[in-house]
Structure 1
């Protein structure tokens, strides 16, 4: 484990050193080239630093020596010049222009070899070593860093090769700015991938410990990714002298117009933060929102998605979720059943008394029912029935198990009523007429009794 941590620290240190090497460090060297004999001095302004290129003719038949003296030199420039000077010793008789192309090809070839070394050897053994550790963080971190590291090597190699060509002062400025942007873009990409691997590991740990925050890790990852991309773009633009500060200042003026144009989007965004902070439900919970019952499939920055019973997908804006009353059907501590059964009015009081006792015994005998919660009473004289009121609770909140118990009890109650010779009541009405009109109608419907002869 110590070796893995040391290797991870080394990788992070190397990544942190790259921007420092690319940063400009001011030099106290004079902005002049002193040459002996025939010397050509060209001074160019590269924006952030002034270059003085001195080309001095060497001995007869030898290639000219080329040096670059910067007022604002960089570590990378010094290393590149030393490498080119050292390489020139092996090609003393080669024409200067041809030598630059040879040096360009050698640098690209070295970048390819180094990339192969990093991906096929270094990271291969790092991943092999990570597979033997207990933690899964290194198993996610090393694969995430492999591609950006290899890409960074190739980007640095290509731009170093282009710099060696010394095409023109204008081209050098363009190559320098492009190199800054490309290197910073790869670094930001690598850091985002590393951060994503870290968040994946945290999500895995949160799920393993059944932490509430695990449900909202996808939302947190999306939010951090957006901010990381925006910050990376601003850093890249600032590195090439873009007016980022002016842009950020102008946001204060344009922010009002943006807020007015994006009221719903901002309201949904704040609604998502309310859902994350309050945590009324998680992904996978069955909830009732805005009169709809469904299973939560996704909690996004703009909306929450519910899969309804008919398998259709309902998308609810988060501002509505934050303002609606929410019933979380998945967070029952236990489930309570309240039922009323009606018996016909021809049921005798003794039969009702016996029926109440039998129902109490029947419900309490079920293993899934809490006996202390069972209540059965003859409660009401309804318009067409004698109502028995029943209440019981099942400690297991699982909906399917609860419905199985409820169905079994309902069937048992029907059999019990039938075995006692009683009947379930249903709404009926009996209308009685009285008076002369009623007697005439009754007489008209009464068949005549035949007379005996």
Structure 2
């Protein structure tokens, strides 16, 4: 007696189950082999690609393999059109779910590697906050996209849903545009890194050390100990000076010498200044010293030199040594520093004694 189930003989069902079983065993063995091979390769290399593939393979679920194997086995049978469509949709839905899990895994692996690389750095706090929001946005995009694909595969009309999401998204964006602007500015700060936590920056007329970079605000610790808070959108619109990333510092000052100093002594001033700065060769580098101008009340020299480090205390110590050396040098050469002079005249009418006539 020949038994028939859903239009297929028992023998064909047995063949289909054998094919499904063989496909499942083959796929599981292949997954296990690839996991072991990639694990050995990942231990020897520092690249991220093999780590991503390894985690994705480990997150390939056996249920996905079994359903895929059953679908392959079902191809050996003849079903009505309705059942074939149902089986196809079930297989595609399972595949889309697995691909979504792979995408989610790739994002989480990226986040873990990025945060691990930032541990111990000056921007580790900012990196933790930024990677958290980037991770959330990327995973949300992955799951929303694959959810829509699954609904479309199951026969739902997603056109209206997508249009509703678009309109709703525009309304929400308009309602919270300032918050979204600061959020995107936060991502820009962390990814582009115009400054990081610990940098000393100047923003407009405010200056201080970056203490925290958040999702909406950036906070500085001012020189007076006060906390200065900027919204991320505003701080990116301003002109930012990052003092921490200086490699050298430029120093310039003016020397004013009294009128009446002999020209021979005036000619000695640039060479004297050069000699003073060159003696500080470990921290300073001489650039120039010139008689710049004959001012209203002094002969003016302009001196420019460079500090070989960005350290502010080294800059102040070196500048102090140079200025003291200049004062000593001027005194040794008998050159007087000029002082502003003001002539005050009296109105004869205000004088109690008569002003003698001029001869």
TM bin, normalised by shorter chain, reads: 0.5 to 0.7
Matching residue within 222, 229, 238 for 2:140? 229
Structure 1 residue 193, shift from structure 2 partner: 3.1
Structure 1 residue 394, shift from structure 2 partner: 1.7
Which blocks of at least 5 consecutive residues in structure 1 are unaligned? 1-33, 42-51, 55-64, 69-77, 87-109, 161-176, 206-214, 441-453
Is the 2:247–2:310 Cα contact (8 Å) retained in structure 1? no
Matching residue within 254, 262, 273 for 1:359? 273
Residue of structure 2 in register with 1:136 after alignment: 47
Residue of structure 2 in register with 1:340 after alignment: 254
Superposition map of 1:97-176 within 5 A: 123=35, 126-133=38-45, 135-137=46-48, 140-141=51-52, 144-145=55-56, 148-149=59-60, 152-153=61-62
**In the aligned structure 2, how far is the partner of 1:154 from the partner of 1:296?**
50
**In the aligned structure 2, how far is the partner of 1:145 from the partner of 1:409?**
64
Superposition map of 1:46-65 within 5 A: none
**In the aligned structure 2, how far is the partner of 1:311 from the partner of 1:144?**
47
Superposition map of 1:11-410 within 5 A: 123=35, 126-133=38-45, 135-137=46-48, 140-141=51-52, 144-145=55-56, 148-149=59-60, 152-153=61-62, 187-195=99-107, 197=109, 223=134, 226-236=137-147, 238-239=149-150, 241=154, 244-268=158-182, 271=185, 281-283=194-196, 286-294=200-208, 302=216, 304=218, 306=220, 308-309=222-223, 314-329=228-243, 335-342=249-256, 348-350=260-262, 353=266, 356-357=269-270, 358-367=272-281, 369-377=284-292, 379-382=294-297, 386=298, 388-394=300-306, 396=308, 398-400=310-312, 401-410=314-323
Structure 1 residue 314, shift from structure 2 partner: 4.7
Is the 2:202–2:241 Cα contact (8 Å) retained in structure 1? yes
Q: TM-score, normalised by structure 1?
A: 0.48
Structure 1 residue 148, shift from structure 2 partner: 2.9
Q: Deviations over 1:200-247 (max 9, x none)?
A: 879999xxxxxxxxx99x969954751342231342365255664322
Which has the larger Rg?
1
Inter-CA distance 228–431: structure 2 relative to 1 (3 Å threshold): same
Count of aligned pairs: 313
**In the aligned structure 1, how far is the partner of 2:317 from the partner of 2:53?**
50
**In the aligned structure 2, how far is the partner of 1:144 from the partner of 1:305?**
38
Which blocks of at least 5 consecutive residues in structure 2 are unaligned? 70-88, 118-125, 354-359
**In the aligned structure 2, how far is the partner of 1:429 from the partner of 1:263?**
60
Q: TM-score, normalised by structure 2?
A: 0.57
**In the aligned structure 1, how far is the partner of 2:290 from the partner of 2:116?**
45
DSSP-derived class of the 1:373 partner: strand
Is the 2:108–2:135 Cα contact (8 Å) retained in structure 1? no
**In the aligned structure 2, how far is the partner of 1:311 from the partner of 1:237?**
52
